[in-house]
Amino acid sequence: MRNLWIGSTTNSSNPTFAHFPELYSLPHHMAAWVFIATLTSFGCQPMAPLPSGKATKGDATTTADAVSTATASSPSSTAPDVGLTDQSAPASEMKPAPTTPANDQSPSLGASATSPAPAASSTTPAEPTTPPAVPDLVGDDATSKPEPAPKEALLNETSCEEKPAPPANAKAPQLIALFDGKTLKNWKSTEFGGEGEVSVADGKLMLGVGSPLTGVTWHGPKLPTSNYEIQIEAMRVDGSDFFCGLTFPVKDDPCSLIIGGWGGGLVGLSSIDGMDASENQTGTHRSFENNKWYAIKLRVTDDNIVVWIDGEQVIEQPLKDVKLSIRIEVAPSKPLGICSFTSTAAIRKLELKELEKPKPATAP
């Protein structure tokens, strides 16, 4: 093989050395390297360093043989890429040739040729470029529960302990203003004998000092006799006895509520089983100031009589097995009337509200 590459200095038939007769005078190993240098001057590039260690004699022979063969077949062509570099370009411009990944595929139709898709990493799987589908608010998520229909939501929010709403045609409690704050409409001064002056001033119904009683009696439309409430705001302007003697009906019988009587502090019902407020179980004592308003509420039902003063319950009298009546002095106040005893009194609110009649209890 060496003889084929270098030939013999005495062999004039060797085609390689026929073109270079000056090599005949050199030793064989020097002639070979001169020959390679001569080829380089014609456009061939020097060999890149071998991958490892020093080049062996056999390796150098093989590499030179490949260079000679490429030059003889195409003298004007550039050197092959493998193991060669372009030294005519600056070192900063030397870049490795681009490689194509093994799993690279041709772009689909319509893809841009100038923006190739990035190669997938061989060690880390590629992240998905399309975000996961977001479920709709209703329907897409298999674990989501549909919102209940309006009827179901109402049933869920309603407690079993809540009372059902009244029917649409149910009668609402009726509130009646018994005093308009301007006139004595539907009222007349009660004829007790010795009564004081009755007037309306500054929105107040005024009862002057009587001897001993002064009051007014209702002469308007018929009023309920059970299941109703009366609310009054009353004040003792001057004096020391009751400033609100309210006579009211309880079914077929009358009764009187006394506020501030018997010396100015008694509260009770007159009369229960023939005994007035100072003698029966409803009588209590409280302190009342002059020129101070007091809110009084009376409730009458089929079963009892309940009284509040300034929101505090002061009387609760059952009606079973009792006999109601009034004192003879206030008989002219029937069926509904207000009076004071030896005191000047003022009334600024007088209202009546009908209550819904309670339904009879059903057997369990």
**51: region left, alpha or beta (phi > 0 left; psi from -120 to 50 alpha):** alpha
Comparison of pLDDT for 99 and 269, the residue scoring more: 269
Position 91 scores a pLDDT of: 44
What Å distances lie between residue 61 and 47, 86, 195, CA to CA?
12, 23, 153
Task: Spell out a b/e string for 21-58, using b for 16 or more CB atoms within 10 Å of the CB, else e.
Answer: eebeeeeeeebbeebbeebeeeebbebeeeeeeeeeee
% of the chain beyond a pLDDT of 70: 51
Q: Which band of pLDDT confidence, cut at 50, 70 and 90, is reported for residue 185?
A: very high
Q: Are 59 and 50 in contact (CB under 8 A)?
A: yes
**pTM of this structure:** 0.55
pLDDT at 3 over 60: no
pLDDT at 259 over 70: yes
* Alpha-carbon span 331 to 323, nearest angstrom: 16
Position 359 scores a pLDDT of: 72
pLDDT at 83 over 70: no
Q: Compute the average pLDDT of residues 252-281.
A: 96
* DSSP per position, 232-267: EEEEEEE-SS-SEEEEEEETTEEEEEEEEETTTTEE
Q: Which band of pLDDT confidence, cut at 50, 70 and 90, is reported for residue 5?
A: very low
Position 7 scores a pLDDT of: 43
Task: Spell out a b/e string for 319-330, using b for 16 or more CB atoms within 10 Å of the CB, else e.
Answer: beeeebbbeeeb
Q: Compute the average pLDDT of residues 212-222.
A: 97
* Alpha-carbon span 323 to 330, nearest angstrom: 17
| Least confidently predicted of 149-153, 254-258, 298-302 | 149-153
Q: Compute the average pLDDT of residues 304-311.
A: 98
pLDDT at 68 over 80: no
* Alpha-carbon span 237 to 356, nearest angstrom: 36
